[in-house]
A and B are shown apart, each in its own frame.
Chain A
Amino acid sequence: MDDPIKRASGPPGLSPWERRKDRLARLVIEGGALVIILAVLLIFFYLLKEAFPLFREGKVSLVAEVRPEDANATLGVVVMDDYQKLALRVTRVGLVETLALDRNQQVPPPFPLELAGEVVAAGFNPFSDLLAAADGEGNVALIRIGWRSRLDPERGRLVEPQYERLADFTLAVSHPPIARLAVGGGEEEPWVAAVDSAGTLYLAKLSSGLFGSEVVHYDLSGEVGRVAGPLAISPRGDRLFALEGSRELVAVRLGEEPRVESRATHPAPVTSLAVTVGGGSLMVGDRLGRLSRYLTIRQVRVTNGSSSPITVHGTVLHPGESAEFIDQEIAKFVKGIPGVELSPADFKLYRVGEEFPHLNSGVASIIPSPASRLFVAFGEGGEGVMSHATSGKEVARIKSLPGPPAAGVINGKESGLLVMDRRGRLILHHLDPGHPETTLRTLFGKVWYEGYTRPEWVWQSTGGTDEFEAKLSLLPLIFGTMKGALYALLFALPVALFGALYLSQLAPQWLKHLFKPLIELMTALPTVVVGFLAGLWLAPLVAKNLVGTLIIFPLVPLALIAFIPLVNLIPPRIRVRLPQGWELLPITVIALTAVWVALKVGPLVEANLFGGDVKLWLYQKLGMVYDPRNALIVGMAMGFAVIPIIFSLAEDALSAVPKQLISGAMALGATRWQTAWRVVLPAALPGVFAAVMLGFGRAVGETMIVLMATGNTPIIDLSPFNGFRTLSANIAVEVPEAPVGGTLYRVLFLSGLILFLFTFVINLIANELASRFRARYGRF
């Protein structure tokens, strides 16, 4: 429509000043309207902008190349400080030499390893900064490398290497020289592993006691065969991984008595091994250019002590037999089968993931980051890829090397990658890993984390140790959001819809005018008050009389229905005279009596049917844990908050159904209820549906009630007696703690974006339905 009033801009002959004012007003008003649209767009794009970098690729760029004069004298070890200022290399003549990567640095004199002969092998562990080097006779020097940095007013940051000589000892090697050397372990007990030219494995541990340190040697030649490939010792010094033959991976448990713990056969010849930070994952590269991840997982031994065969996870166990499984949940599975015994068993090396980017040629080396599960792998052809052990994300490709590297190291800040090629050249790259631990799969799919016995959806953003890996799966939160909304609607829908039907169709007008504002008053009630009552008043109350509370739900309607035959006893004479809505009085009395009875009967039922403690009974019989702040409580509290929204809009819709429809139905002989249920409700259905959608949207976004009335545990469990964590509560809990720009921060913004889009769609649908309804029956 083109309203002439809306077009008017004053009569001709108006003063130009008035005309200008008029135009200005129009501009300002239109501007104000534009600001609203822009604000919504701004919110959307801001959330998107904060969340988007999660999926961005990382960057690797070439920074510098250093070519030492005697490049050929370098052994396959290279070390770098956190600020990418200095590099260390081990030379064949037995020196640890410093090379400057930055022109301002002072280069200290080389550190002598003090080995008798020419150095033939060396190993460096980036997690504990231990360096081991061996000469041809089997003499080994063990050194810890540290860095000291200071700020110089003239030259900026200056870095200086620090050396601590831990031990010198001799490995009695039967077929010298030593071919490979690995070092690892924490502060207290460093381990050194060596392989001689015949492939025999030697182990030595440095124990520091009260009277100085001593070196203990171990012989594993009986257990481990010919070791051909690379070695890796976990950062904590609890495991050694070695390659036996070309495909057999061996995990050796280090400790008082080192022993072979587990073996696994890789499908292709293995060319490279690396342990990630914390020692949880072993990255394996093979000749086909594939990368795989192995985890060491604790097993459970199931022994069939019964007299009949049982089947566990598809394995048939005959009486007396036993088998080992990695799934800890097996306890639940076999519980209750008589005679079956469970006992802890060894860890097993288990191949869990191969969703890694491929290399075009065999994997030559894997360089782990000392700070996270990020790593860089290079192929024989010199091409490299940066990836992450848990997510398997292809963070970046590296194409700057002509050939495979001999060694490499990533600094502790993950900002630099130093690679040494086979001719001793040092090549420094700048790293920008972005958010390597996040992919769509880690956010929404199951992920097999270290220490877990199977892939799972886990939200656990902070942990105690440096090695902790944040587990940011949004699924438990989305599940919690849906669970909360579901329980809320379960409670709110019948109450709000039938209440609205009653007030709009069955109750007298005066009652409607009294009750409707009262119920709408609930929207004004701050949700923080509702949440506080739910958490501090309702939750303990329900916990104290759970059975009684649960009895209320069926008992009240049953009591009502049981009472109805009595109504027919009222003489028709009197019944006709009763005012419309009279039933509310007896309903109130019956309902209150029923509630009272339920609460009194509850403890009796609990004592006689559930052995006096229903929570214990739930746990023992059904395996359900009772959390006092649970879905039941949230359902009631959030339902309470949602009822007025659904009620008010649904009542509006029901009341907007034209009177002609109702009169027509009544004239045809339908009762009031028949009219309400079969005529009014179907006609108002779109409006009612819109009301439900809006209520649902509100329940999805509600924060304070969930925050206060649940334990906020991010678990996936439909049980009404368990807590959950919703997206919104999670944001409220975690955002204040999340470092700005970090992965957690961005994932939280992503969850905010999900909430935004979700409620946007719900609102769009609801408003579309409502406007169509309005278009049909006029305004309501």
Chain B
Amino acid sequence: MGWWKTLGSKAGIAGKSSPSPAGEGNSELSLARRRNLPAVWLCGLFTILSVGMVLGVLLLIAWHAFGYYWPRPIMDITVRSEDGEKRFYGIVVGHQTGINPADPTKRLSQTRLRLANRDLVESEFIWVEDEKLAIKPAPATVGVVERTEYGDAIGNLLELKVEGDHPTTIAPTDPQFLPRLNDEIRRVRERKAKIRRLERELAYLVEPLQKLHAAAAAIRAKPEISDRDRQKLTELEGRIKELERDISPRQREMEEELTRLRQGAERATLTLALADGREVEIPIWKVIRVYLPNQMSLREKVGHYLSKLWEFYTTEPREANTEGGIYPAIVGTVVLVFLMTLAVVPLGVLAAIYLSEYARPNLFTKLLRISINNLAGVPSIVFGMFGLGFFIYTVGGLIDRTFFADQLPTPTFGTGGVLWAALTLALLTIPVVIVAAEESFAAIPQGLREGALALGCTKWQLLRRILLPNALPGILTGVILAVERAAGEVAPLMLVGVVKLAPSLPVDSYPPYLHLERKFMHLGFHIYDVGFQSPNVEAALPVVYLTAFTLIVLVLLLNGVALWLRNRLRRELGGEV
């Protein structure tokens, strides 16, 4: 018997400790009210705190995520120090005032500057005390050059030099300057895309050959070579020769095309002048875009902002993930969640049907309930361990030995991949689906079942024709909630195949199109990796905030849809679910 029952009845029903017996005077009542006020207010405080924290976190992330791509004016900055003056072009990113730790009577006010030019100045971000600082707007021809290496460069645009058949030099005063510059950048972008496509095709072409080579190398590296190994080696060598003969003409053709594309690439350079007078030549080959924030109109700024945002969602990351986009992470997350859904829905719905339609109060049902509760409570990292040990090493190892024996010891399924990650997450999210689906089965009026059975339905017919269609919105709610949970889960993925940079997507245009064994990128892991494992966290923060914002929006959207669906279901079925 529960001890709390006696406790509850003592306090609540018998009223032994109930303090205000009948007949207490009005004045005393108001006194009691006044005495209670602190407690009530404290409770109110905690409520406000919980709500405030949620809103605060959302606003904080949105604030940081949205601001970054807005073009900010470039300033001409002079920093005085004992060694003399230094001039930079840069952007003011922050300001703080506080008490000077060295002299508590004085206040210290500092400005945070972003100087960009990672390869040209000592540090990209600096704090400078305001008294040592002189800031004025930089000339309108000062621009930001986004590069494929070392991040942005900021400087005064001097000239664009184009070599080739008609070598020309164009100065920024020329009205043709910006169109020509953008034209060159577009040309480079197209050429790069072509190269990338060709490279991918080439890789696809030689992949089987590489696998054979790897397998042969692995056998040669063995400490003991058996007769079977020798036999296999000869066979492998034969297959390698055959394959080489088959693909080598096409391969040579593609390689030549690649060299041609690469050679003719560097034909234009952009010259920048830094604030301290240094001149820097940047090949257009390394430029992604150029913009001049000091002469942009509001419309141009909005356009720039949107195109940056578009770029963020559609391109691959650069510079150890600290720049560029998150496209592969989005694809990885979507594929992962999709595969997980395929695994989790049948199992979850079966268990839910069992619990609501078949279960009798026996040991099996009790065990099932305990199992579901337990699955919901076990830390996610334990699922990750199980996924690693069981799915990858045990099942994956078995698959490799059975179907991919010629590639061993290079693992195919015996290493982390999107399939194993999806199965691991499916285990993790089963309880979510079961609870939601069971709830929706329970909400179906009993009369429908009785009516169907009375008309002579079998249980299967009842299920298929009446119950499943009626429960569908509820099941969908469960699936969405499971997807939401899976999209935000990171810890188990770290053990079962998520990587910071995947060379290829788990879905692409090469057969078999869906590559279950491939490693993948993931939005949540991207946040952890970029924020905590990258060499330049400061420069990477915008990417982290934007990724976090994307993830949150995704998750909250799913959550909202699920809640809306659930509420509609409740209203439609009228019952209290």
Contact = CB atoms under 8 A, between A and B. Distances in A.
B472 to A, nearest CB: 17
B263 interface: no
B44 A661 contact: no
B418 interface: no
Place the interface of chain A in its size category: 35 or more
Interface stretch (A40-48, A173-181, A196-204, A257-265): A40-48
Interface residues of B, number: 129
Interface string A45-76: 01100100000000000000000000000000
A752 B378 CA distance: 10
Contacts of B10: 682
A486 interface: no
Which of B55, B104, B450 has the most chain A CB within a 10 Å cutoff? B104
Contact of A560 (B42, B60, B350): B42
B275 interface: no
B528 interface: yes
Given A669-B24, A669-B29, A759-B379, A524 B488 contact: yes
B385 interface: yes
Contacts of A338: none
Given A32-B351, A47-B386, A568 B34 contact: yes
Interface stretch (A2-10, A232-240, A469-477): A2-10
A165 B379 CA distance: 60
A26 B101 contact: no
Contacts of B559: 521, 524
A533 interface: yes
Nearest to A11: B456
A725 B336 CA distance: 29
B99 A607 contact: yes
Given A156-B224, A496-B50, A525-B555, A33 B351 contact: yes
Interface stretch (A219-227, A245-253, A452-460, A582-590): A582-590
B230 interface: yes
A525 B380 CA distance: 15
B491 A587 contact: no
Contacts of B76: none
A511 B161 CA distance: 66
Contacts of A532: 527-528, 531-532, 544, 548
Contacts of B44: 502, 506-507, 581, 583-584, 587
Interface stretch (A394-402, A436-444, A672-680): A672-680
A524 B484 contact: yes
Given A35-B347, A603-B99, A701-B382, A6 B358 contact: yes
Contact of A536 (B19, B20, B541): B541
Interface string B1-38: 01011011011110101111110100001001110111
B393 interface: yes
Main SS of the interface on chain A? helix
Contacts of A755: 378-379, 381-382
A744 to B, nearest CB: 13
Nearest to A5: B449
Which of A36, A37, A535 has the most chain B CB within a 10 Å cutoff? A36
Nearest to B555: A524
Contacts of B326: none
Interface stretch (B83-91, B205-213, B367-375, B400-408): B367-375
A607 B51 CA distance: 34
A504 to B, nearest CB: 10
Contacts of A740: 393
A581 B541 CA distance: 40
Contact of A19 (B5, B38, B458): B458
Given A668-B20, A760-B374, A529 B47 contact: no
A29 interface: yes
Interface stretch (B184-192, B459-467, B507-515): B459-467
11 contacts: A6-B357, A14-B458, A33-B354, A36-B368, A36-B371, A525-B555, A526-B551, A528-B525, A557-B45, A561-B38, A728-B381
A47 B384 CA distance: 11
Nearest to B525: A528
A529 B386 CA distance: 24
B377 A760 contact: yes
Given A36-B351, A151-B223, A708-B532, A683 B8 contact: yes
A671 B43 contact: no
A668 B528 contact: no
Contact of B350 (A29, A683, A685): A29
A678 B17 contact: yes
B292 interface: no
A691 interface: no
Nearest to B52: A588
Contact of B382 (A26, A612, A752, A769): A752
Given A524-B484, A682-B11, 20 more contacts: A1-B361, A9-B459, A11-B456, A31-B350, A32-B353, A42-B390, A46-B390, A151-B225, A517-B563, A524-B488, A528-B528, A529-B552, A581-B44, A608-B104, A612-B104, A613-B101, A668-B18, A701-B381, A760-B378, A764-B370
Contacts of B384: 731-732, 735
A698 B379 CA distance: 7
Interface string A317-359: 0000000000000000000000000000000000000000000
A542 interface: no
B54 interface: yes
A234 to B, nearest CB: 32
B489 A759 contact: no
Interface string B42-78: 1111111111111101001100000000000000000
B559 to A, nearest CB: 4
B530 to A, nearest CB: 9
A704 interface: yes
Contact of B18 (A9, A533, A665, A728): A665
Contacts of A521: 54, 556, 559
A519 B50 contact: yes
B155 interface: no
A535 B531 CA distance: 9
Contacts of A673: 36, 39-40
Given A37-B371, A532-B531, A608-B104, A584 B47 contact: yes
Which of A533, A707, A736 has the most chain B CB within a 10 Å cutoff? A533
Given A21-B460, A40-B374, A670-B20, A519 B453 contact: no
Contacts of A501: 43
B505 interface: no
B524 interface: yes
B50 A499 contact: yes
Contacts of B349: 32
Which of A11, A46, A498 has the most chain B CB within a 10 Å cutoff? A498
Nearest to B379: A701
A703 B101 CA distance: 36
B279 to A, nearest CB: 37
Contacts of B563: 517
Contact of A151 (B15, B224, B383, B427): B224
Contacts of A506: 40, 43-44
A564 B382 contact: no
A708 B494 contact: no
B491 A704 contact: yes
A674 B382 CA distance: 44
Nearest to A775: B2
Which of B47, B357, B528 has the most chain A CB within a 10 Å cutoff? B47
A13 B381 CA distance: 54
Contacts of A685: 4, 7-8
A567 interface: yes
Nearest to B225: A151
Contact of A32 (B43, B346, B371): B346
* The 6 residue pairs across chains A and B that have the minimum distance between CB atoms: A701-B379, A32-B350, A526-B488, A607-B104, A703-B491, A502-B43
A567 B36 CA distance: 12
B379 A525 contact: no
A551 interface: no
